[in-house]
Structures are given as C-alpha cells and as structure tokens.
Amino acid sequence: MSHTVREDAARDLSGSAAHWIDRNTVVWRGESSGELTHCLLFSEKGDIACALGDLTGDTGSIRLSPGALTGAQRARWPHLAGHGAFRVDPRDAALLPEALRGQVVAVRRDASGALLAATGVQIPGVLDDLYAEAVHAGLGPVWKEGGPEVSVWAPTARVVELALYDAPRGGSRTVHEMRRDDRTGVWSVAGTPSWRWRYYTFLVTVYSGAAGGIVVNEVTDPYSLSLAADSTRSQLVDLSDPSLRPEGWSSLPKPLAVPQERVAVHELHVRDFSASDLSVPADLRGTYAAFALDSTGTAELRGLAVDGLTHVHLLPVFDFATVPERRSERAEPECDLAAMPADSDRQQACVSQVAARDSFNWGYDPLHYTVPEGSYASDPDGPARIREFREMIAGLNGAGLRVVMDVVYNHTYAAGQDPASVLDRVVPGYYHRLLDDGPVATSTCCANTAPEHAMMGRLVVDSVVTWAREYKVDGFRFDLMGHHPKANLLAVREALNRLTPAEDGVDGPSIILYGEGWSFGEVAGDARFEQATQFNMAGTGVATFSDRLRDAVRGGGPFDADPGVQGFGSGLAGAPNGSAANGTPEQQRERLLRYQDLIKVGLAGNLRDYVFTASDGRRVRGAEVDYNGFPAGYTAAPGEVVNYVDAHDNETLFDALAYKLPRATTMAERVRMQTLSLATVLLGQGVSFVHAGSERLRSKSFDRNSYDSGDWFNRLLWDCAQGNGFGGGLPPHRDNGHRWDYARPLLADPALLPDCAAIASARARYGELLRIRSSSPVFALGSLAEVQRRLTFLPGGVREIPGVVTMHLDASGLDPRWASVTVVFNATPETRAQAVAALEGAPVTLHPVQAACDDPVVRQSGFDPATGTLSVPGRTVAVFVRPAP
C-alpha cells in the first residue's frame, strides 16, 4: 500500500465515527457515491495502524456498498438518520463473528485507491443483532446440584478464563478454561461444590480501543453477587444459602402495601442515619446493623411510621467506588470542627482534605450494581454485607416501613481500561453510550451507560429483579431516569409484576417505581430513543419528580445566582427580604399568583388534563399552565408524580428558607414556614417525598451539593441538644464558594440556631400532617376522574388572595366520617378569611388532629357557618372537616 493520504483525511483510529448498526448495515457520515469504495478492515491481532499515508496490519476485509436506511432503522437510530448508509456484502457475512473479535476499522478510498478516511467502528448494534439470543442466557453464578455454573457475556473476547482464589486478596490462583457459545457469545464454566465461598475474576483477552490493542483484562463479574473488600474480586455465593438469611427471612412480615398515590417517602442515607447517633455503639455507627438496633434513630423511624410514613428511601446502597471499604484505610477529619466559628472556612478546608479517603459519599458512583456496598458492613470481605443488608431491610420493615432503593444504572464510575471499569473491560465499547465520533458520553457526570443496548438493558432488569426477590426491596428510585429508554423502565415494571409471593416470596405488583425524569445531554428530546422522562412516562404508572411545586414553594430555581429569590413558602407573600432579584412589588405579586397556579397543579397530582380556574380567571388544564416554557401538568394519574420541596440535592428546606426569609424572621415563624412548605407536599395528591431531617429543621450549613462533604456537613441529629447542623461553618468551596458572601452573615447569626423547642415543634407539626394525610382517602385519589370530581380550588380569578391557596375536597361516598375536607394554605403574615359557598350552614370544624395539637396558633383557625367563611392565622396551614350526614 503506497497511496498518500490527504492532509484533511481522518487518520486517527482512536475515534469511532462509523456505526455498525446490524449485520447488514454500516452508517458513516460522509459521501457514499459509487466513485468511492468502502470496506471494513479487521485484525485479530489488533494491529491496524496508519503509517506512511496508508493502513498497515495483518487484516481481513468486509466489502461495503452504498445503501439507504430503512424506516425501521431510522426509527431505531434517529441520531444517525442523516448519515450515509452502507450494505454489508452478503458474500462476506460469514466473516462477521471473527471480525468482531478483533479490531475493526471503516475505510474510505477514492477511485484510484487512495485512502481518504479511516475510523474505528462502534459495534453495539451489530452485537445486539448477531447475539440477540444472549438476552435469554444465564449469567453470573447459577447454582446447579451444589456447584456453580459461572457465565459471562463477552462476544468480542478471543479467550475468557476464570481465575479462582481461596482468599479475598493475595494467594495463588487456579485458572479454568471457559467454553464459548457461538450462538450467544456467552462463556461458561461448571464448578464443583468446593467452589462455594471462593473468590474469582475473569481473564478476558480482548481488543480494547482504549488500550489500542489486544489486552488481557483481569476483571470482576458484572453479575457479581458478593465481593472482596474494595471490589477487587467477585465471590461465589448462593443467595438462597441459609447462612445468608436472618432468622425469619423467608416469612418476613411486610408492612401493608399501599397504592402509589398514598405513598409517603422519607429520603435517608445509611451513614447519615446513625453516624451521629450516640445511642448506637461506636463500631456500628454508619452501618447496616444500626437499623436493627433499638436506638434513638430507630425510635424516630417507628414514630414516623405510626404517624403515617410508608416508605424509607435509601440513597445508593449497591457497591460504589469512592469510600475505602476497610475502616483501617479511611481517614477522618482530625480538627475540632465543633470548636470553630459558625461562619469559618476552616471546617470545610479540614473536611475537604480527607474527602477522598473518609467514610462518607452519597454513592452515585456504581461499581457493581447487584452487590450491597461493603463500607456499611461489619466486614467488607465476603458475605457479611449480604446478611446485614437483609437485616437492615427486616429492621425497617419491623419498624412499619417499606424500603425504596436508589439505583444508578445511567452511569458507571469509570470506563475504558481504568481499573475501576468493569463493564467496559469485559465488552469494550458496548455498555456505554458513545458520542457520534466515539468518546464515551459523560452528560450525567461520569461514563454514561447505554440501556438502549440489549444487554445493558437486560442488566438493569436482572439487577432490579434480584434486589426485589433476594433482598425484598419494596421500591426503586431511578437516578437520571431520562437517560433510560422508556421501554427499559416498562421492561422493569413488567418483570417485577411477574413476581409472586408463592414463587418468589414477594408481591411484585406492589413494588413502586419512580425516578428523575429530566431531559438533557445527548439523549435530550428523544434524540436516540423515547426517553423515560416526565412527559413520556404519563400513563405508565412510573412516577417522576416534579420540579414545579418545588420551585413555586421555595422560589426561583436551584441554580439562581442570588439565593434570595422568594417563593410561596419563603416570604414572597408579604415578607420581602429586600433582594433585587425579586423585582418590583407588582412583579412579586404577579409571580406569586403564577406560583399559586403551579402549586394548585402540584396539589392536584400534576395532572395534565385536570381543569381548574387559574389566578387570572381562565379555566385551564394543568398542561396549559406555564413552567419555564413547558407545561406544568404532565401526568395521566396522580400516582405518577413525586412532589417534594427538598431532597439530598440542593440546600435543605431549612437552609433555603434561611437564605430567603427576611433576616429578622423569628425562629417560631421559620418553623411555621417550614411546616407550610412541607404541607404542600404532604396534603397533595401523588407520592409525597421529604428529605430525612426536614421534619427536624435539618441543615447542612448551606451545602448545596454535599455528596462528598463528610459526616460533618451531612449530620442528621436525632438529639435536639446537638442542634440541627446549622452554623457548622461555611460549606465546601467546591460547590458553594460563589454563595459564601450570602451565607457568612447568616451562619454567624445565633438567632438562626433552633433550640429544642423549635425542633420539637417542627417534628410535631410534621407528624400531624402525616396523620391528616393518612386520615382520609381524599388525600390519595387514584385517577384523573376522581380528582376532577372531588378537588376544587377556591375562589380563583380576581377574588384570589395572593399568598393563600384554598383546596376543597369532596369526600362524600368515599370517607365514612367526613363529607368534605378543606385545606387553607395561608403563606401571608396575617390572618386571612376565605368564603366557601359549599360550606354555608354546615357544621365545619378544625380537623381533629389539629384541634388536639399543642400549636395555639392553628387552633385560632375559625369558621363562620352563616357565611361559610374560613379564617386562618398567618403562616399556617389549617384543615377543616365537615361531618358526613
């Protein structure tokens, strides 16, 4: 080969701009005229290279001819619809399996044979086509007659062997040949009963584009069920082994399942739960085992369950990368953090010094999707994490709470040849979503996975089913769910629905699903598939978080330059804080009324077709209310929305109110605004979701992204004498430095430190809201028709009071005690009166829960039967009931 390459020709074979989408078709941007010739070169040695103006290497060739994409192909690969298409020569079809087990390069030449361009080839599509039957193959360790059969899908590998170890680290190994099934691309080996509890890895000989050649990767099993510490080796375990099951596990009694629209969720981090709980033995703080103890924290959870909480949502508890799993290898801050000034930058500096080696991380950095995280276990080597995870589930169930697991299938911690990369070292270039020219997409933060590829989609389904069946998890929250295809979430739902108590020990249909339905990055706008986003999931029963209610209540958005932008629950209604970001009084009033419409949509379950009277007097559907240029209402049923005003992301509610309420606001008034804000979540239709500790005024000292901020900034304090976390110093500069000037004077203000009375009041009000929510079925209407028939907002239009939302619920024929329930949210500082014609002459009273509570302000709420007028004190949510006839 002696042709000269033009200077502008693509010669970098590290990229992959060609896409082999099925066995018959290659797609590549650029000319496809008959004057040019195209082919795929392949090399089992992985030695194709550019040299002296052409390609070198020991190669074979697959001929390509100009073609066109079919309608089905364009629908399957919409982001490639504008590219040129080439047909694989049928005479070369037999070469495909061998070609895919080495390096593949797409080549374009001119009529004279001169090289015009060459690029690597993306192969997920053709792998899914050739090995379609792999979706039905057994993977991971499957136990047969006492011994394991171990299988891994590695269709591009030249050789796969299993390395067997006696110990979690060190020691010698034996290497066992694995047999390849050419039909599925699965490699398998049958072991003996003596393999039980032993550790293993795969030795995968494969072409890696990241390495630029053939490599032998020693890698753990993507379908691992147990691991050595720090995920260095997989372990052969049988999850049905009695030694891995706590006493009574097979017949574990579950709290009563509730329809999704009745679900009330507390979002909790395993380490947060007990790391600061002095009633827990020091060696068990921050572990799974803390949930099985009789402690201050577990007593609080039992109390919340009695009040009406139904689910605890655990932040990631699968195996993640960023916490050393052996305690001896961790480092904690050595400074006296509590002795430092409340507004100092020294706390964050001390915490940041050891952040990479301390015991805390949120855990959104997956390594192995179907193994419990080892840093929460008493021993990270081997099966202790399995048993202790199950004991945690049993403990939470025993407290009266079902358990939701936060799952992060949309990305991995690493890709390529990184030692922390698992999937990509088994099948390079398959499990991750690649951009058009080959780099791994990282729009989620890290290496994006590609659940649109068959075997990644299958891994998601298999993993979820394992957690449900083997660990009795009651629900799943999907991180960045919009990066999944809608079809993938529907496949998860279908697989769970097939689980039965008789066959699987769990009731699959009762397992709830929700996630973040945001649309962004390379998949935004259904660019590659129909996404699992807010709008697309309507009608599926899978719920999505709504930012509409959150922003209306808190004010502004999470990324405002000035955190003082106020909302319905943070002072926009009559308590201006002086920030120029809030605009003129006229602009504030207009925005407040817009926020009230968003709140109404949220209280009605974010239904797209719910019709009500907006603040401007128009009759509108939920989808006709504007939210930053998008429809506010988008669900088809109330259970498809997750309403919230705070979560682990962004500032806690207490911290947001500290930024937004006028500095002179008393602590008693702050508690009332905290309660009012939470009431919009707890008394609305749909899933209610609250960040653990918000019922106790939890603060993270203004840290808006505490994923790696250590125990100090993430403290969850069950003992009110320890405070609520506020005044713990300026939050880490990394994500908060731009707001230090706003935070510093507030942190230094002792008036913003709640005492035990304030914390107890907040907790009491929250419990009352939970009890009210669970006291009547009108707070959990299951359909658009029921919401439309029973829920109205009064009065609407020109008579609407800025800062007051009144929601009337017709309970007739549904609630045996009450004919109606009316909720008044008064966010203004003054008492407001609201006439409700439907209540004239009726014997309306304050809800029994509030009538018996120790809040003297809410008990001042009144009703005049002559005029049907409800009066509610300032900064108060009051619930009125009318007895059933």
CA 639/CA 493 separation, integer angstroms = 15
For residue 516, indicate whether it is catalytic: yes
CA 201/CA 205 separation, integer angstroms = 13
Q: Which of 599, 678, 598, 609 is nearest to 638 (CA)?
A: 609
| Residue linked to tokens 């996404």 | 531
- Strand 543-546 to 186-190 pairing: unpaired
CA 728/CA 712 separation, integer angstroms = 8
Q: Which long-range contacts (CB under 8 A, 24 or more apart) does 65-69 make?
A: 65/38, 65/89, 66/32, 66/33, 66/34, 66/38, 67/25, 67/32, 69/25, 69/27
CB 700 within 8 A of CB 360: no
Residues 59 and 141 in one domain: no
17's torsion region: left (phi>0), alpha (psi -120 to 50) or beta? alpha
CA 487/CA 498 separation, integer angstroms = 17
CB 123 within 8 A of CB 104: yes
Q: Which of 184, 75, 200 is nearest to 133 (CA)?
A: 184
CB 371 within 8 A of CB 385: yes
For residue 325, give Cα distances in angstroms to 231, 358, 373, 376, 385. 9, 10, 8, 8, 11
What pLDDT is recorded for position 11? 58
With residues binned 3-state (H G I as helix, E B as strand, rest as coil), the percentages for the chain, rounded to 5, are 30, 25, 45
CA 275/CA 392 separation, integer angstroms = 15
How many domains does the chain fold into? 3
Residues 69 and 145 in one domain: no
CB 260 within 8 A of CB 512: yes
Q: For residue 21, how many C-alpha atoms fall within 13 Å in the half-sphere facing its CB?
A: 27
Residues 73 and 99 in one domain: yes
**Which residues is 879 bridged to in the sheet?**
823
What pLDDT is recorded for position 570? 98
CB 807 within 8 A of CB 838: no
For residue 444, give Cα distances in angstroms to 149, 366, 417. 35, 13, 20
Could you tell me if residue 652 is inside a domain?
no
CA 551/CA 557 separation, integer angstroms = 6
CA 27/CA 20 separation, integer angstroms = 6
Could you tell me if residue 814 is inside a domain?
yes
Residues 99 and 56 in one domain: yes
For 494-528, give the DSSP string.
HHHHT--HHHHSS-GGG-EEEE-----GGGGGGSS
Type of residue numbered 757: A
DSSP 261: G
Domain boundary among 227, 244, 261: 244
- Maximum C-alpha span of the chain: 100
CA 522/CA 736 separation, integer angstroms = 27
Question: Quick one: tokens of 790?
Answer: 């029973």
pTM across the whole model = 0.97
Q: Which of 504, 341, 316 is nearest to 407 (CA)?
A: 316
What pLDDT is recorded for position 5? 34
Could you tell me if residue 813 is inside a domain?
yes
**Which residues is 318 bridged to in the sheet?**
372
Residues 816 and 827 in one domain: yes
CB 227 within 8 A of CB 386: no
Backbone angles phi, psi at 513, to 5 degrees: -135, 130
CA 877/CA 827 separation, integer angstroms = 8
Residues 122 and 157 in one domain: no
CB 622 within 8 A of CB 608: yes
Taking the mean position of all CA atoms in its chain, how far away is CA 752?
A: 32
Tell me if residue 66 falls in helix, strand or coil.
strand
CA 573/CA 532 separation, integer angstroms = 36
Q: For residue 101, how many C-alpha atoms fall within 13 Å in the half-sphere facing its CB?
A: 18
Could you tell me if residue 352 is inside a domain?
no
Q: Which of 764, 563, 732, 729 is nearest to 658 (CA)?
A: 563
CATH number at residue 877: 2.60.40.1180
Residues 100 and 163 in one domain: no
Residues 120 and 152 in one domain: no
Strand extents, DSSP E, 707-816: 791-794, 804-810
**Which residues is 159 bridged to in the sheet?**
205
662's torsion region: left (phi>0), alpha (psi -120 to 50) or beta? beta
Domain boundary among 82, 105, 130: 130
What pLDDT is recorded for position 8? 37
**Which of 238, 319, 516, 708 is labelled catalytic?**
516
CA 493/CA 710 separation, integer angstroms = 35
CB 325 within 8 A of CB 374: yes
Q: Which domain holds residue 181?
A: 132-244
Measure the CA dihedral 639/645/648/651, to 10°.
Answer: 170
What pLDDT is recorded for position 146? 87
For 33-52, give the DSSP string.
-TTSEEEEEEETT---EEET
Could you tell me if residue 853 is inside a domain?
yes
**Which residues is 617 bridged to in the sheet?**
none
For residue 786, give Cα distances in angstroms to 546, 637, 789, 790. 21, 10, 5, 6
Could you tell me if residue 145 is inside a domain?
yes
Could you tell me if residue 607 is inside a domain?
no
Residues 33 and 102 in one domain: yes
CATH number at residue 24: 2.60.40.1130
Tell me if residue 146 falls in helix, strand or coil.
coil
Could you tell me if residue 869 is inside a domain?
yes
What pLDDT is recorded for position 2? 29
Residues 121 and 150 in one domain: no
Containing H/E element for 208? strand 199-208
Q: For residue 740, how many C-alpha atoms fall within 13 Å in the half-sphere facing its CB?
A: 16
Residues 176 and 206 in one domain: yes
What pLDDT is recorded for position 53? 84
Residues 137 and 52 in one domain: no
* Peptide bond before residue 795 is cis, with ω within 30 degrees of 0: yes
Domain boundary among 204, 219, 244: 244
What pLDDT is recorded for position 777? 98
What pLDDT is recorded for position 799? 86
CB 869 within 8 A of CB 833: yes
User: Along the chain (885 residues), what's the average pLDDT of each consecutive run of 10 residues?
Assistant: 36 88 95 84 96 91 96 97 95 98 96 94 98 97 94 98 97 97 98 97 97 97 98 98 96 96 98 98 98 97 98 98 97 97 98 97 98 98 98 98 98 97 98 97 98 98 98 98 98 98 97 98 98 98 98 96 97 97 97 98 98 95 97 98 98 98 98 98 98 98 98 98 97 97 98 98 98 98 98 87 97 97 98 94 97 97 96 98 96
CB 836 within 8 A of CB 822: yes
**Which of 261, 462, 479, 640 is labelled catalytic?**
479
Question: Quick one: tokens of 562?
Answer: 């000035």
For residue 479, indicate whether it is catalytic: yes
CATH number at residue 189: 2.60.40.10
